Structure formats: C-alpha cells, structure tokens
A and B are shown apart, each in its own frame.
Chain A
Amino acid sequence: DVKVTQSSRYLVKRTGEKVFLECVQDMDHENMFWYRQDPGLGLRLIYFSYDVKMKEKGDIPEGYSVSREKKERFSLILESASTNQTSMYLCASSLRIGGVNQPQHFGDGTRLSIL
C-alpha cells in the first residue's frame, strides 16, 4: 500500500530556530511536494522536486528551502523560523509518468507551532 511518512505529527519550536521537517515515501515516486495549509486558504505549494537533487519553487517559497539527496526523502527547512510559519505542513508524492492522471499521495501532516 502507498505510504508517505512525515517525521512528526506535532512540533513546537522557537522563533529564530532552524527547523527540519522530514518526509519519506516508499513508493519509488519521482515527484515529491511540500504544502502548507492554513484555515480559509486551502493548500499552498511551497516547493516540489521531480528528481533527486532537483527542486522547483512553488507559490510561497519565501523563508523555506528544501533538500532531496535520496529519491525517497524530501526535507523542508525553515532557515530561521518565524511565528507566521505556524501552520499545518503536508508532504505528498506522485509518479511522474502517466501525465495528468497520477494522484498525489499525502502524509498525515505536521502541525508546527512557532513560539
């Protein structure tokens, strides 16, 4: 069965800290994604990657960076956490082949609070 695992369900950090959110998928998917979800705004794409060491900016990349050293792992990094980065973070993966009909499979999400 499809499995996307995010390292933490809940995380509390302090302003200015460097924060790492980890995501691992076991489906050999080429594409991986990081979203943040805020009430009333839906899901917004932060970064995505379609191959190892490749990354592309999404709609709201400011204040974030990513790392993809291995195919199965995609990390989101908050370089210097700020309170406006308090949010729910969702990781997803999908196959690249097949065009438009490949769904994204999501992890359970990480609720991050920056104090």
Chain B
Amino acid sequence: AQKITQTQPGMFVQEKEAVTLDCTYDTSDQSYGLFWYKQPSSGEMIFLIYQGSYDEQNATEGRYSLNFQKARKSANLVISASQLGDSAMYFCAMKRGGSQGNLIFGKGTKLSVKP
C-alpha cells in the first residue's frame, strides 16, 4: 500500500539557520512523483517543490531543496536560511504513476522559526 510518513510532528529552528524536514514513502511503483506543500495558519496549501522518481538530480527551488534518496525511500525537505515567514505546517505528498493525479499526504510537520 502507498504511504507517506512524516515522523516529526513539530520542529523548532532559529532564524537564519537551515532545517531538514523528514519524509519517507512506501510504494512498489517505478514511476512516481514527490511533492512538498506549505500550509500557513491562514489555511491555503502552497506548492513548494517536486521530485520525480527518475530524476537524477535533487530538486531545488530558491531556498528549498529536496534531498532525494531513492534506495532509502526518503525525500527530505531542506530549507536554508530560515525566515519567520517559514513558520507553517509542511506536508509531504506522493503521486502514483498512472493515476489520475491523486496525491497521498503525510500527516505534516509543524515548523516554528524562532527570532
């Protein structure tokens, strides 16, 4: 069965430091996609970054990078130079190849950035 696991319910990080949010996944598909979303307290879900299962390079998007380790089935999000506005819930999600676009979500990690 497809599953996404985020083992950190909450994390604290000092402003300007880097932080890694963990995500492991379980799938028997060869083709799949991994996504990270940010949800501020206002509620909207904001797409951050994507990694395809066949991508050889780790994805990067500004201060966000995805540490993809396929053999370990992990797709950790790294946020560099944390800002106060990064305080939010972060969700890891996986899309199965061949599906109509369904995403399976983890339960999320609440990140708090301290000044």
Q: Do A and B come from one complex?
A: yes
Interface size on B, residues (CB 8 A): 26
State A108–B103 Cα separation when bound (angstroms).
Answer: 18
Which chain B positions have C-beta within 8 A of A102? 101
Which chain A positions have C-beta within 8 A of B52? 100-101
Which chain B positions have C-beta within 8 A of A9? 43
| A interface, size bucket | 20 to 34
Which chain A positions have C-beta within 8 A of B45? 90, 92, 106, 109
Pick the contact of B100: A50, A92, A103 (CB < 8 A). A50
User: B32 — nearest CB in chain A belongs to which residue?
Assistant: A100
Cβ–Cβ contact B100 & A100, under 8 A: no
State A41–B104 Cα separation when bound (angstroms).
Answer: 12
User: A93 — nearest CB in chain B belongs to which residue?
Assistant: B101
B: which residues have CB within 8 A of A?
31-33, 35, 37, 42-47, 50, 52-53, 91, 95-97, 100-103, 105-108
A: which residues have CB within 8 A of B?
9, 31, 33, 40-45, 48, 50, 56, 58, 88, 90, 92, 94, 96, 99-109, 111
19 A-B Cβ contacts within 8 A? A31-B101, A42-B108, A43-B103, A48-B101, A48-B102, A50-B100, A56-B100, A58-B102, A90-B45, A94-B101, A96-B100, A96-B101, A99-B31, A100-B31, A100-B52, A100-B53, A108-B42, A108-B43, A111-B43
